[in-house]
Structure 1
Amino acid sequence: MDFATANRAAFAVLLTAAAMGMSWTIGSLAVPDLTPARPALAIVTEDDSATPLPAGNSAHGAVLVNAICSRCHDFTPSGASSAGPNLFGVIGRPVGKGTDYTYSHNLAAHGGTWDEATLNLWLRHPAAFAPGTRMSFRGLTDPVDRADIIAWLKTLH
């Protein structure tokens, strides 16, 4: 390769780099860099388990349960367990104990009873409440939604 060819190749590389730099500069001026109003992925960073739940709206809880929980759970008095246990009368029931459902080992060994505080922790993050649980639900980060579901579950007796 002679000097003239090398000079032309270097000029082509320099011209390409300059064109790319100008494109990037013009593009960044034309399209502002905006921060989204709401994050696309909510990452739980603080423990809100000590924060008391707000008063729940059982009507909204029924809508949430129908949309989220009814795929795996039944809520009728004589309903059978399917992928998950029947949750009719779950408030006051021992954690991990049931007549016609086999719970995961860690949930069965957890102890206690299902009350507002326990359900709040469970609905917030089931895998943190009982590691190794078979429930594939990731949890509800919104305490209002959790309070609404718990308020609706309290109506089942």
Structure 2
Amino acid sequence: MRELIGSVLLYLGALTAAEGGPLHEAVKSGDLTAIAAALDAGADIEEQDKGATPLFLAIRSGHPEAVELLIERGAGVNNQSAMGLPLTGAVLTNSVDLMRLLLAHGADPNAAARGERMLHFAVANGCLDCVKVLVEAGADVNAIWVRGDPARLPGIITPYHLAKHDDHADIAAYLLEHGVTISKPEPISAKLATGDPAKGKAFFAPNCSSCHVTRAQDIPTRAPNLWNVVGRDKASTKFSGYSQTLSAWEGSWTYEDLNIFLAGPTLTTPGVNMDVRGAPDEADRLDVIAYLRTLADTPVPLP
């Protein structure tokens, strides 16, 4: 889940050792006179040195005066470099004061770097103060980061789900108090008989079978075996990858529980390890549940 942040952090560690032009070198040291001289001599204020603009590098190096000077001279607070937005550098280094400075100069609290919102970065970095600054500036606490291939079943990641999943309880509580909404689909008990197991199997095969096995004798690897899932106690099979969220959801898998979970696991049950989109369309969900019902010696009766 943290591939992007991991790669950014690795690169951040190398920036201070990178060779650059006069402007980049001046920014690294925070030498305001040298920065002004380089700009007066025609240095490009948006030129990237190994993926970092002067503004990004000033933020990474922790020089607020240099940040102020670069912004005054025209550096774009919302201009994205290969390393991300200026806010990216401030968030990933937990530089709350620099975050406030950028936001005061017009940085967008809802901006995204390669699809991932700044709020997601702050949550993943475990920085509650950073989260607070962004939310106070107008960041959407229900923003969705779509990770992976949108044509298949991509990861649907909200800040709250990420906080729950990564066990940042303080951040999760703060987000919940500041507008998080948890989705719940309409009940489907009265419609279960309309589900088509064959269509459900056709949906399941390309979207779910790479993780879930379905025969009684199959050994689970990436996700639990779904044989006898309907009516089975939650998080009860011989599988070590259950999330804390799912382990805490008591009771057996009812048809309505499956309806809730499959509607969008991270949206209806934040914190689970299954971060794919699920089956948001009710017709698909009815078909999948009808198929799951067949994965048993004796299918659980419909309501």
For 2:187 and 2:294, how far apart are their aligned partners in 1? 24
Unaligned runs of 5+ residues in structure 1 are: 1-45
Of structures 1 and 2, the larger Rg is shown by 1
Aligned equivalent of 1:56 = 195
The amino acid across from 1:62 in the alignment is: K
2:293 counterpart of 1:154: yes
Runs of 4+ in 1 over 2 A off after TM superposition: 46-54, 99-102
Listed as ranges, the matches of 1:33-72 within 5 Å are 47-50=184-187, 52=189, 53-54=191-192, 55-72=194-211
The answer on whether the counterparts of 1:97 and 1:103 sit within 8 Å (CA) in structure 2 is: no
Give, in angstroms, the shift of residue 106 of structure 1. 0.9
Greater relative contact order (Cα < 8 A, sep 6+)? 1
Alignment root-mean-square deviation, CA: 2.2
Give me the TM-score of the superposition, normalised by structure 2.
0.35
Relative to structure 2, which stretch is displaced further, 82-91 or 136-145?
136-145
Deviation at 1:136, TM superposition (A): 2.1
Contact kept in structure 1, 2:188 and 2:259, CA below 8 Å? no
For 2:188 and 2:245, the matched residues in 1 are separated by: 25
- Give the letter for the 1:74 counterpart: V
State the match for 1:88 in structure 2.
227
Give the structure 2 partner of residue 12 of structure 1.
none
Shift of 1:78: 0.5
TM superposition score normalised by structure 1: 0.66
**Residue-pair matches, total:** 114
Q: Distance in 2 between matches of 1:146 and 1:50?
A: 12
Unpaired runs of at least 5, structure 2:
1-182, 297-303
Q: Secondary structure at the match of 2:286?
A: helix
The answer to whether 1:129 aligns with 2:268 is yes
CA distance in 2, matches of 1:48, 1:134: 20
SS at match of 2:287: helix
Once residues 101 and 149 of structure 1 are traced to their aligned partners in structure 2, the CA distance between those partners, rounded to angstroms, is 24
